[in-house]
Structures are given as C-alpha cells and as structure tokens.
Structure 1
Amino acid sequence: MTSPVFPDLDGASVFITGGGSGIGASLTEGFLRQGARVAFIGRSDATAFVARMEAETGRAPLFAQGDVTDMTTLRAAMDRAAEAHGPVTRLVNNAANDQRHATLDVDEAFYDWSTAINMKAYFFACQHAIRAMKALGYGHILNFSSISYMMGNAGYAVYTSSNAAITGMTRSLAREFGPDGIRVNALAPGWVLTERQLEKWASPESLDAFLDRQCLKTHLQPADIVNPTLFLCSDASRMMTGQLVAVDAGVVTTG
C-alpha cells in the first residue's frame, strides 16, 4: 500500500507500544518509510523483525523487549528511545489484548491484568511522554481504542470498558495539554485481520457476519491502519485534537 509523504515525520522521534507484531509492526514499518526514527517496546523477541525492517527500509528500529504493564520497564524504554533518537514527539499507544472472557467468570486478578494492558499502560505512557513534550512545546499522541465498545459487543466487557476509558482519557488530555502545543487523538480500528485474530477468533461465519455490517465489503488488514496513523501523527492534522477517528470500513459512525 502506497503512503503519502508527511515531511515532518522525516527524522521524527516515534515511540510505539507493541510495535513488533500485528498492527504495531505495520505502524513501525510505515513510520520508518517516512524517515522517522522509531523505537518500540514488545514482550516477544522482535530481533528478526528489526533485521527485516533494516533490510527493507534501510532503517533499523530500536527494540526494547519488555512488558508494558511494568511501568518501570515502560518508562525506561521510552527514556532509551529519547536518548537514542531525541525527545519523543510522537507516541503511539497501540499495545492491547482483547482476550475474551465471560463477565461472571472475571476475578480481580484477570481484571487487573486486562486493565493494566488496555488502560493503565496507556495513561502512564502518555504521562511520561507529556513531561518531555511540555518542555518542547510540541507533541502528538495517538491512543488506539476500538469500535467494540461503540458496537456494544459482548464477551469481553473489561476490554470494551478500557477502550471507552481510552476515549475519555484522550479527550481530557487534549483539553489539559493543548495549551502546551500537545495534540492527543484516538483511533478506533474495526476488525483488523491480524494473525492473532485469524488464529483465535475468526471463523467463516463470523467473518461473513462482520462483513455484512461494513459499508465497504473488504476485510481490514493491518496496512489499512497505517496511513490514518501517519496522518494523525503528522502536522497535516495539526488542528485536530481530542478526536476519535474510526477506521472500520463504515461499521460505526462518530460525532
């Protein structure tokens, strides 16, 4: 998929959570092809992905292996990115886990685990990035949400609650830090057919049913999320903040 060129992303310091697999890997590649200096944190070993990106784009992303639910590890990875690439001016909170669960089976341990990945890490990554962005008077934050909570989906209430909270947090941070030149937006993908989704949740019946709900009759791929992300993290969207943008082939509407 061809991307437009966003000149201000050339040389920009970008940090992505979960940037080594799924949608995150496509985002890492997309920013690298814009000339950005990209760092990402991921739980699984991504050294092979880093090598492939260097071979294909001519740029190697900085990989920090770690769990985003460990706030010390997360902050250290962001600090390492800033030391290598300069202060992070684009934060993309992408890491998430949509593990299905029955509400009546949820215990406190599962609730804490799910919200740590899907909400707590987002808040503290934003907090850490904003401290540096305030000093610069400039910065773009993009928080990944999901259309699942807007659809009222059942089967993962803790996850959908976290995504609704991400939207609320995004709007509050945009209002609080707009005077500092910091923009904060959210992006809500539809059902993007990553390897994980295909392995765990996709069946011919569920795929057909979801396609029926889309205005555009083509399933979303990770690459479909790249260009909207680049736009929202570039100065091309400089007067957009506090917004939730759905990229879902027309399942939901916002506004």
Structure 2
Amino acid sequence: MQTPAPARFPDLDGASVFITGGGAGIGAALTDGFLAQGARVAFIGRSDAGDFVGRMQERHGNAPLFLQGDITDTDRLRSALAEAAEAHGPVTILVNNAAHDLRHTLREVTPDSWDALLAVNLKAYFFSCQAVADAMAAAGGGAIINFSSISYMMGNAGYPAYTAANAAITGLTRSLARELGPENIRVNAIAPGWVLTQRQRDLWATPEALAAHMDRQCLKRHLMPDDMVAPVLFLASQASAMMTGQCMVVDGGVVGTG
C-alpha cells in the first residue's frame, strides 16, 4: 500500500520554510512535500545536495535553496537562516529535522562525545528557534516543528544521549510554545517511529530487528520518509491553527500517549 498524496494546504503556497537536514532521508521528503505545496524552501546540510536540488527543480519548477553547513556550528546555522530570509522573506515555518542516532552505550560516552551528540540533537534545535523567533513575531506569527522520537518513550537502550536529547526536545517544545504563544508562534513536536531511510536500511534494519519492531506496531507496514510529510504539513499549516505545545506521535501504533 502506497502512502497517499498529502492534502493541499493553500496557506503554505509561497510560505518561507527552513528545514535542517533537508537534503536526505526524512528531510528530503519534507523538502519535496513543501515544494509541492508551492512553498519557498531553504535547507541546510553538510553534504553537497546539488543533484537533489536539480531533481526538485525538474519535478516542481521551483528549486530549494541549499545552504551548505554544519548545524552544530551555531554561527553558520544563524547565517544560513539569515540567507534563507533574504532569499525568501522571513522564515515563518521552521522544521528542525536533522539528528544523529549514533549507537552507543553508557560506558562508551565521553564528555566530548556527549557534547557532540547533544550539539546536533538538541543545541541546534534551541538556537534555530532562537534565531527565527523575532522575525516570526514581526511577521505576525509562524510555526516551528521539532523532530523528537518515540525512542525515549519506548525506553530504548543503545543510544542514551540520543534518547535524552529527544526527551529534552519535547520539553523544549512545550516551554517555547508557552513563551512564544503570545506572539502567535506555534511550537509543536513530531515523534516518528522507526522510519526506514536509506541510512537505517544500511546500518540497522536487519530482518530480525524489523520483525521485532513490526510485532509492536498496530499497523503492519514499515514507516517510510513520505509518511512524515503530511503530518508535518498539517502542523505547519493553519489547519492546526490552535495546536501548540503538542507532541504528535506518528509510529504506526507502537506507543500510547494518553
């Protein structure tokens, strides 16, 4: 069964969107999805994304703006957001998607590796939100979508710094929703289940691991990057105008949040 095409959200047409890690995996699906809505998309990534930009131009007649850089370099992250605003107008939709789910154990973590993991999985989220808040407020409001994960809800072992960061992202989302709400800025999180990006397939998606995870899902189809597009578009659009401070789980029915 294929993922259905997302609904149309007219208010996203022409919107200025910024996506971290928007050239690969889930991020690439999001860039594609926003472009299909007519949005003006900029994204930051470490690796060259020229081929991807070309494919998007051919598909949509509207190329995304690729800004090469490392989100753990806060100065570069800020400058990329400023470049996106100069090209497309104030960023009114921010999607913090980039993450690094490197496997590690408690005993392997050093102070340096802890700092490196939290820099990509949490610090960059905070400072990108900080960087767009004033311009969003001046524009009359906006939407921030932070990617968390069900990994911490499941109590997964094997990457404690990653699960700690994702729990913190949900807390950060709720705090910023309260702080920025008076300026009409909505802040929500999305917590995917196990999405089978190429990285996941290459590194961890063994038949045994896939079967064990599928046993926990209510819906018996593995999640793909395109499954994240419609939920993110919904949270970015005025269809969710009175939703903020929420964490939307999209995992095929693994965890319960009630």
Q: TM-score, normalised by structure 1?
A: 0.99
Q: Deviations for 1:29-80, whole angstroms, at most 9, x for unmatched residues?
A: 0000000000000010001000000001111000001000000100111000
2:5 corresponds, among 2, 6, 12, to 2
Q: Displacement, 1:134?
A: 1.6
Aligned to 2:232: 229
1:55 corresponds, among 46, 58, 65, to 58
Distance 1:134 1:89 in 2: 9
Aligned to 1:91: 94
Aligned to 1:191: 194
| Secondary structure of the corresponding residue to residue 15 of structure 1 | strand
Q: Displacement, 1:102?
A: 1.1
The answer as to 2:143 corresponding to 1:140 is: yes
Percent sequence identity over matched residues? 67
| Secondary structure of the corresponding residue to residue 196 of structure 2 | coil
Distance 1:124 1:13 in 2: 18
What are the ranges of 5 or more consecutive residues in structure 1 without an aligned counterpart? Answer: none
Distance 1:68 1:188 in 2: 20
1:42 corresponds, among 41, 45, 70, to 45
Code of the residue aligned with 2:152 in structure 1: it is Y
- After superposition, residues 136-215 of structure 1 pair within 5 angstroms as 136-215=139-218
Q: Deviations for 1:69-121, whole angstroms, at most 9, x for unmatched residues?
A: 00010011100000000000000000000000011110011000000000000
Distance 1:241 1:221 in 2: 25
Distance 1:149 1:75 in 2: 29
Distance 2:49 2:105 in 1: 32
Q: Displacement, 1:217?
A: 0.4
What are the ranges of 5 or more consecutive residues in structure 2 without an aligned counterpart? Answer: none
Distance 1:137 1:101 in 2: 43
Distance 1:89 1:183 in 2: 10
Aligned to 1:130: 133
Across the aligned residues of Structure 1 and Structure 2, the Cα RMSD in angstroms comes to 0.6
Distance 1:7 1:55 in 2: 22
Q: TM-score, normalised by structure 2?
A: 0.98
Equivalenced residue count is 255
1:218 corresponds, among 214, 218, 221, to 221
| Secondary structure of the corresponding residue to residue 88 of structure 1 | coil
Q: Displacement, 1:136?
A: 1.8
Aligned to 2:72: 69
Distance 2:256 2:240 in 1: 20
Q: Displacement, 1:137?
A: 2.5
Distance 1:166 1:136 in 2: 25
2:114 corresponds, among 103, 106, 111, to 111
Q: Deviations for 1:120-174, whole angstroms, at most 9, x for unmatched residues?
A: 0000000001121121221100000000000000000000000000000000000
| Secondary structure of the corresponding residue to residue 41 of structure 2 | strand
Distance 1:137 1:180 in 2: 7
